[in-house]
Amino acid sequence: MKKYLLSIFCLVLMFGITTSSYADRRSYVWTYEYQTMPKGRWELEYYFTSIVPKFEKSNVNTLKPQIELEYGITSHWDVAMYQMYKINNKGSETDSKYDGFKIRTRYRFGEKKQFIVDPLIYLEYIRDPNFHKPNVIEGKLVLAKDIGDLNISYNQIFERNLENRGKIESEYAVGISYSVMPVLRLGVESKGSYSERETTIGPTMSWSGSLLRKKLFVSLGAAWGVNRRTDDFQARMITGMLF
């Protein structure tokens, strides 16, 4: 995993130095910002997440690929569909399966710097592939602030199982990033659960440019658990292309 992330990092830097084109990027891999898709435009995104519950059992890990298609309904409102997959690795045994789908929508209020902080709301419906198992709805309040080249984004997350009177889980994600050059941002993210007392923290980076005359971004992030309730290590890569 370390060699894989290092190779991608070097590739991103190479492109960042040789291109001057920008793209609508994700500065973070877990934290959402104050942005929506441009009206009438499509974007295809690919997520790849690796989760290692315990380092002492390093032969056990879970991979979660996702494919997302986004569309901008207006300049402030967009929708997206995700297809999710899961790969469980335990030693020489591998179990792959379809893991369900998500439908989400985002709406941002006003324009950047119109308010003290820039607000956005996010609503997502998550469904198990078998349909007879519990389904989940997730809401996020996104509050962001740009100070020069510095961005601060905070997500207050609420998640509820819609069946069996599931309780509301309270979670968070927060990121701080800085534009070190027009095509490259570096930062740090933290995420966790207030309800379960889970906390992770780690670095993040984002590159934006162009490929085959299409706007493109690549974001990389890693997070380490800081308490016993949390998975020891998680890593995520997101790539997106605007059409």
Contact 29, 220 (CB under 8 A): yes
| Stated pTM of the model | 0.86
38 secondary structure, DSSP code: P
Task: Identify the band that residue 134 occupies on the pLDDT scale cut at 50, 70 and 90.
Answer: low
Q: Please give the Cα distance from 183 to 41 (Å, whole number).
A: 21
| pLDDT score for 72 | 97
Q: How many independent structural domains does the chain possess?
A: 1
The reply to whether 17 falls in a domain is yes
pLDDT at position 1 is: 46
Instruction: Report yes or no on 24 lying in a domain.
Output: yes
Nearest C-alpha neighbor of 183 from the set 17, 5, 8, 6: 17
Other Cβ atoms closer than 10 A to 90: 12
Question: What are the pLDDT digits (tens) for 5-34?
Answer: 444 444 444 444 344 334 467 999 999 999
- The range of the structural domain enclosing residue 127 comes to 2-238
**pLDDT for the residue numbered 135:** 84
Residue 74 lies in a domain: yes
- Mean pLDDT (the chain) is 87
| Selected residue with higher pLDDT from 67 and 165 | 67
Residue type, 37: M
**For 135-142, which contacts have Cβ atoms below 8 Å and span 24 or more sequence positions?**
135/161, 135/162, 135/163, 136/160, 136/161, 136/162, 136/166, 137/162, 140/32, 142/32, 142/33, 142/34
Q: At residue 241, does pLDDT exceed 60?
A: yes
Question: Given this model, what pLDDT does residue 36 score?
Answer: 96
243 occurs within a structural domain? no
Report if residue 212 sits inside a domain. yes
93 pLDDT exceeds 50? yes
End-to-end CA distance of the chain: 31
In the predicted model, what is the mean pLDDT of residues 178-196?
94
Confidence of residue 59 (pLDDT cuts 50, 70, 90): confident
**What are the tens digits of pLDDT across the range 214-235?**
889 999 999 999 887 787 899 9
Residue of 241, 233, 208 whose CA lies nearest to 51: 233
Q: What are phi and psi of 76, to 5 degrees?
A: -120, -5
Higher pLDDT, 9 or 60: 60
Contact in structure between 216 and 209 (CB atoms under 8 Å): yes
Establish if 223 belongs to a structural domain: yes
- Cα–Cα distances in Å, from 44 out to 29, 30, 59, 69, 106? 15, 17, 32, 5, 16
CATH number at residue 109: 2.40.160.40
Show Cβ contacts of residue 115 under 8 Å, excluding neighbours closer than 6 positions.
Answer: 109
Which residue's entry shows tokens 């740009």?
146
Rounded Cα–Cα distance for residues 166 and 172 (Å): 19
The residue among 42, 110, 121, 37 whose CA lies nearest residue 78 is 37
pLDDT for position 128: 83
Amino acid occupying residue 95: D
- In three-state secondary structure terms, 94 is strand
